[in-house]
C-alpha cells in the first residue's frame, strides 16, 4: 500500500515490524525481500512518486573542496536516484574487498566469495541479462568486440567489463510488490524523518519522528529500524543527539567520516592507431554501434592489474576513451549540459543569469562542439581520444560529512561536505598514465599525451560523480567504523544502516548494484534474527 503522509491526521502513530528510511535502490530492495517473508514494513520516503522541487531543495548542502552537487545528483522521490541512474553495473573486484597494505583503512569484513553470491541475486533487481564480466569470454562470443579488443599484457593492464541495466527505475519496476492488496508493506510518501528517538542511554531506538512540508507530525514505531538514505544516514544520526550529544553511533567520532566519491577526471589524450569503432566498447557513455544501429551488451575500461597496483603503491582506477572534440571540456559547453539536465527535470538552474552569461560568451565554441559531436564521421586511420578516469578514492578519515550552521526549510541543520583528496588518489592517475604510455607504445598502437604529471599541479578531480559512499563505514572494530559486519550500528540494539554509506572502500566500479547486493544480505540477516 502506498500512502501519502500528508493525508494522515496530525499526530498519527504507525507501527510495523521494521521501519526503513529511504526508498531508493537499497530501501526498495530491502523492503521487497522482507515482505516476501511476511514481515510488516513501513518504508518512509521523503519525496513523492515524482520530482518535486520543494522537496528536492532539502538535498542542498554546503560543499568544500569539491563540487558534489548533492541537490542535483540525488533525487528525493520514490525510487531515489535510480530515477536518473545510467544503469552501468559491475561487481567489486576481489582485491578491492581485501586489505591492501599500501592503502590505509582498506578491506571489507565480507569475503569476495560471500559478496559475489549476493551480487548474483542483485542482478535480477537490476534486470541484468547476463552475469558475464569476463572480457575474454565476450571476445569469444562477440566478433565485433574481438575485432577491436586491445591486446593488453594482463600482467600490467586488465580489462574491466560493465553490463548495462535498462536502466532499472526502481520506483517503477519494483513498486508493484509493495502496493499489491494484502502486502505487509506500507510506503509512506512525503514522510521527512526529523529525528531517531531513543531510550535514555541512546542504545535502543524507540521511534522515528517525521513531518511533511506543511508541518504535520507523525511517529513511526517498530522493533527494528534501517537507514537507507545515502548521505542522509550520517545526517540523521548526527541530528539525533538528545541522548548522546555527539549523535547516535558516534562514540568514536566516526559518523560522517571516510566520505568517498568517484572523482570526475578528464586529463590526457591518446592518439590511437585503431579503428574508430574501438570507442564503441571503450567509451563509458556510448552504447550504440554506428555500424549496426543496435545497442551493445557491455563496455570495457582499462585498469592496472592488482600486482601492478601493489608494486606501484596505487589505487584501482578505470580509464575510458571518449572521442576528442575541441572545446568539449570548456566551461561554456559544460555549463550548457548542466543547464539542460536541470531543465529536462523541470528544475530552474539556481544561477541562471550567471550560467546564461557563460553560455552566451562561448556560443561560437559551443556551436562547434555540437556540430563535431553530432555530425562528425567515423573516418579511418589514427583517432584522438580523451581519457576519462573513473578512480577509486582512498578511505580518508578527514574527508567527511558534518552538520552546517545553515538550516533547511524544515529547520534542520543542512549537511556540510568537507572533502579532500589524498596523495595516493593523485599518484594513481600519474602512475597509470605512465603504465598506459609504456604498454600502448610497446604494442605500437598509441601515443599518450599526459597533462597531469606532478603532485605539484592542481588536482584535476574537482568534481564528483553522483556516487556517494562512506560516512557510516563498516568495520568489526567500533573504534574504526560505525556499523558492524551485519550493518548494525555499534553500541545500538536495533538500528541498522545499508547502502553506499557503509562501504569501507569505494573501488573502481559502479556502486548501485553493489548497494543492492548489500541490501539483500541485510534482509537475510534481519529475517534470521526475527
Same domain, 227 and 269: no
Does 76 share its domain with 145?
A: no
283 and 234 within one domain: no
CA 484, CA 154: separation in Å to the nearest integer? 36
> What is the rounded distance in angstroms from the CA atom of residue 34 to the CA atom of residue 26?
12
As a whole number of angstroms, the distance between CA 287 and CA 323 comes to 14
94/192 Cα distance (integer angstroms): 38
Both 144 and 175 in one domain: the answer is no
- Tens digit of pLDDT for each residue in 275-318? 777 878 999 877 776 666 677 889 999 999 999 999 999 999 99
- Is residue 87 situated within a structural domain? yes
345 and 446 share a domain?
A: yes
- Decide if 509 is inside a domain: yes
The edge-to-edge listing of strands for the beta sheet with 413-418 is 62-64, 413-418, 400-407
Q: What is the pTM of this model?
A: 0.90
The domain boundary, picked from 460, 478, 509, lies at: 460
| Domain end among 460, 489, 521 | 460
Question: CA 118, CA 16: separation in Å to the nearest integer?
Answer: 26
Give the pLDDT score at 325.
Answer: 61
Cell 570548456, residue? 330
Both 172 and 214 in one domain: the answer is yes
Q: Is residue 102 part of a domain?
A: no
Q: What's the gap between Cα 261 and its chain centre?
A: 7
Cβ atoms of residues 410 and 211 within 8 Å: yes
Return d(Cα 394, Cα 406) in angstroms, integer.
Answer: 29
Question: Tell me: the pLDDT tens digits for 395-442?
Answer: 999 999 999 999 999 999 999 999 988 999 999 999 999 999 999 999
Residue with cell 510506503: 187
Domain of 136? 129-164+263-391+422-460
Q: Are strands 463-464 and 263-272 parallel, antiparallel or unpaired?
A: antiparallel
Confidence category of residue 377, pLDDT binned at 50, 70, 90: very low
Comparing 33-47, 323-337, 476-490, the range with the smallest average pLDDT is 323-337
* Same domain, residue pair 362 and 243: no
50 and 181 in a common domain = yes
CB neighbours of 373 closer than 8 A, spacing ≥ 6?
Answer: 325, 328
Q: Mark whether 367 and 514 lie in a shared domain.
A: no
CATH code where residue 505 lies: 3.50.50.60
Question: Are 246 and 330 in the same domain?
Answer: no
Domains held by the chain: number = 2
Task: Specify if 4 maps to a domain.
Answer: yes
Whether 298 and 313 share a structural domain: yes
In a domain, 104, yes or no: no
Whether 439 is covered by a domain: the verdict is yes
Question: Is residue 273 in some structural domain?
Answer: yes
Percent of the chain with pLDDT over 90: 77
The reply to whether 398 falls in a domain is: no
Domain's final residue, options 460, 488, 516: 460
Q: Are residues 67 and 190 in the same domain?
A: yes
Amino acid at each position: 500500500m502506498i500512502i501519502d503522509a500528508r493525508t494522515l491526521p496530525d499526530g498519527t502513530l504507525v507501527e510495523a515490524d521494521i521501519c526503513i528510511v529511504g526508498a531508493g535502490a537499497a530501501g526498495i530492495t530491502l523492503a521487497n525481500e522482507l515482505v516476501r517473508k511476511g514481515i510488516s514494513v513501513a518504508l518512509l520516503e521523503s519525496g513523492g512518486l515524482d520530482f518535486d522541487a520543494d522537496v528536492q531543495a532539502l538535498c542542498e548542502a554546503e560543499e568544500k573542496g569539491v563540487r558534489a552537487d548533492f541537490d542535483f545528483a540525488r533525487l528525493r522521490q520514490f525510487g531515489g536516484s535510480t530515477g536518473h541512474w545510467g544503469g552501468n553495473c559491475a561487481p567489486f573486484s576481489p582485491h578491492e574487498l581485501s586489505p591492501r597494505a599500501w592503502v590505509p583503512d582498506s578491506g571489507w569484513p565480507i569475503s569476495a566469495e560471500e559478496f559475489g553470491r549476493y551480487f548474483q541475486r542483485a542482478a535480477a533487481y537490476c534486470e541484468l541479462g547476463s552475469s558475464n564480466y569476463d572480457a575474454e569470454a565476450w571476445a569469444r562470443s562477440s566478433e565485433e568486440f574481438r575485432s577491436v579488443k586491445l591486446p593488453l599484457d594482463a600482467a600490467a593492464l586488465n580489462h574491466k567489463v560493465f553490463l548495462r541495466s535498462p536502466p532499472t527505475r526502481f520506483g517503477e519496476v519494483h513498486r508493484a510488490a509493495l502496493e499489491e492488496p494484502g502486502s505487509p508493506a506500507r510506503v509512506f510518501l512525503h514522510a521527512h524523518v526529523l529525528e531517531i528517538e531513543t531510550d535514555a542511554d541512546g542504545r535502543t531506538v524507540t521511534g522515528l519522528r517525521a513531518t511533511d512540508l506543511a508541518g504535520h507530525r507523525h511517529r513511526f514505531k517498530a522493533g527494528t529500524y534501517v537507514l537507507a538514505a545515502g548521505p542522509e544516514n550520517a545526517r540523521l544520526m548526527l541530528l539525533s543527539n538528545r541522548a548522546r550529544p555527539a549523535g547516535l553511533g558516534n562514540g568514536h567520532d566516526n559518523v560522517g567520516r571516510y566520505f568517498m566519491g568517484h572523482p570526475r577526471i578528464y586529463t590526457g589524450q591518446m592518439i590511437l592507431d585503431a579503428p574508430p569503432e574501438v570507442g564503441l566498447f571503450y567509451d563509458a557513455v556510448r552504447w550504440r554501434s554506428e555500424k549496426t544501429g543496435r545497442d551493445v551488451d557491455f563496455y570495457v575500461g582499462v585498469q592496472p592489474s592488482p600486482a601492478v597496483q601493489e608494486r606501484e603503491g596505487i589505487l584501482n582506477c578505470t580509464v575510458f576513451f571518449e572521442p576528442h572534440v575541441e572545446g568539449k571540456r570548456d566551461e561554456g559547453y559544460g555549463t550548457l549540459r548542466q543547464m539542460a539536465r536541470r531543465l529536462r527535470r523541470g528544475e530552474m538552474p539556481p544561477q541562471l543569469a550567471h550560467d546564461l552569461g557563460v553560455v552566451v560568451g562561448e556560443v561560437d565554441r559551443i556551436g562547434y562542439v555540437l556540430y563535431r559531436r553530432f555530425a562528425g564521421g567515423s573516418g579511418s586511420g589514427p583517432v584522438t581520444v580523451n581519457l576519462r578516469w573513473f578512480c577509486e578514492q582512498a578511505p580518508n578519515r578527514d574527508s567527511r560529512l558534518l552538520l552546517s550552521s545553515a538550516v533547511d526549510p524544515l529547520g534542520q541543520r543542512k549537511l556540510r561536505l568537507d572533502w579532500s583528496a589524498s596523495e595516493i588518489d593523485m599518484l594513481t592517475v600519474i602512475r597509470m598514465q605512465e603504465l598506459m604510455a609504456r604498454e600502448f607504445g610497446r604494442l605500437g598502437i598509441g601515443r599518450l599525451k599526459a597533462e597531469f604529471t606532478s603532485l605539484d599541479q592542481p588536482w584535476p578531480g574537482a568534481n564528483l560523480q553522483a556516487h556517494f559512499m562512506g560516512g557510516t563505514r563498516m568495520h568489526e572494530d567500533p573504534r574504526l567504523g560505525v556499523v558492524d559486519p551485519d550493518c548494525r550500528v555499534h553500541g545500538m540494539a536495533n538500528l541498522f544502516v545499508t547502502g553506499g554509506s557503509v562501504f569501507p572502500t569505494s573501488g573502481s566500479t559502479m556502486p548501485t548494484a553493489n548497494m543492492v547486493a548489500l541490501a539483500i544480505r541485510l534482509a537475510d540477516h534481519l529475517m534470521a534474527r526475527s
